[in-house]
């Protein structure tokens, strides 16, 4: 194996193991920490692909985002009633199965669609970091503008929803 391959496998194992830990571990704090670890692993994988700018942005944006998640987890830490309500029952079971189905569809779709579009690293054209950043910026603000803005609104909805749920007086349970 070449050094690049060894590095890739180490990073891949770290990323995948921490991503699985996010889902499997019961303590939400460790879950958030494992998510941060997975983000760092993905960022390092971008570095091995020579995508330095995306690697850095991955660190800045996602590490910050997971930090917010961390705080949200602490805000929602003692919502025992809600946990009960959302983890038992037929409807939530159906939602879980639907989520698993969607995730499986996403994974299969990603593998199926990317196998033809991937370029070998040596064949991909290289450009300077400023050019690459310029291209990225142009695409984000023209072709993918709607998706970009919609994601921002989605994040805002999550933040507002979390604050609304965690407010002790306005929460869904009354023993305060």
Partner 1 sequence: MGHDAFQITINCLKLVVIFLMMVQAVPILVWLERRGSGFIQNRLGPNRVGPLGLMQLLADAAKFLMKEEFFPETGVKLLYYAAPAAALIPGTLAFCAIPLSTPVHIEAFEWLGQSWGPYTFLFQGFDINVGIVYILGISSLAAYVILMAGWGSGSKYSLMGALRASAQIISYELALGLSIVGVILMYGTFNLTEMINQQQGPLNFQFWGHTISSTVSWLPNWGIFYQPLGAIIFFAATFAESNRLPFDLAEGEAELVAGFHTEYGGFKMLLFFIGEYGHMMVASGLMVAFFFGGWSIPGVSFDQVSSWASGATSSSSLASIFTSLIFFVSFFVKLAVFMWIFIQVRWTLPRFRYDQLMDLGWKTMLPWALANTILSALFIFVAHS
Q: Which residues bind partner 1 (CB under 8 A)?
A: 29, 33, 36, 40, 43, 52-53, 55-60, 63-64, 67-68, 70-71, 74, 128-130, 133
Q: In angstroms, rounded to a whole number, what is the distance separating the alpha carbons of residues 73 and 39? A: 18
Q: Between 63 and 97, whose beta carbon lies closer to partner 1?
A: 63
* Nearer to partner 1 among residue 3 and residue 113 (C-beta): 3
What minimum distance in Å lies between the beta carbon of 124 and partner 1?
Answer: 16
From start to end of 36-84, where are the E strands?
Answer: none
Q: Report the residue number, 59 or 76, with the smaller CB distance to partner 1.
A: 59
Closest CB 53 distance from partner 1, rounded Å: 5
Q: What are the CA-CA distances from residue 86 to residues 72, 75, 80, 141, 161 (Å)?
A: 17, 17, 10, 38, 16
- For residue 144, count other CB atoms closer than 10 A to its CB: 13
Q: Cβ of residue 112: shortest distance to partner 1, in angstroms?
A: 32
- Measure the CA–CA gap between 175 and 29, rounded to whole angstroms: 24
């Amino acid at each position: 194996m070449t050094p690049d391959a060894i590095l890739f496998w180490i990073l891949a194992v770290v990323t995948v193991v921490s991503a699985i830990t996010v889902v499997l571990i019961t303590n939400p704090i460790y879950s958030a920490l494992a998510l941060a670890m997975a983000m760092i692993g993905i960022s390092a994988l971008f570095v091995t692909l020579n995508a330095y700018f995306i690697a850095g942005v991955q660190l800045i944006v996602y590490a910050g985002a997971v930090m917010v998640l961390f705080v949200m987890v602490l805000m929602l830490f003692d919502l025992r009633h809600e946990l009960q309500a959302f983890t038992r029952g037929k409807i939530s079971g159906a939602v879980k199965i639907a989520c698993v189905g969607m995730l499986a569809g996403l994974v299969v779709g990603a593998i199926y669609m990317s196998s033809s579009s991937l370029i070998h690293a040596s064949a991909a054209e290289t450009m300077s970091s400023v050019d690459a950043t310029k291209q990225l910026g142009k695409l984000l603000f023209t072709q993918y503008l709607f998706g970009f803005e919609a994601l921002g609104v989605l994040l805002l909805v999550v933040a507002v929803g979390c604050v609304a749920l965690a407010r002790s007086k306005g929460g869904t349970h009354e023993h305060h």
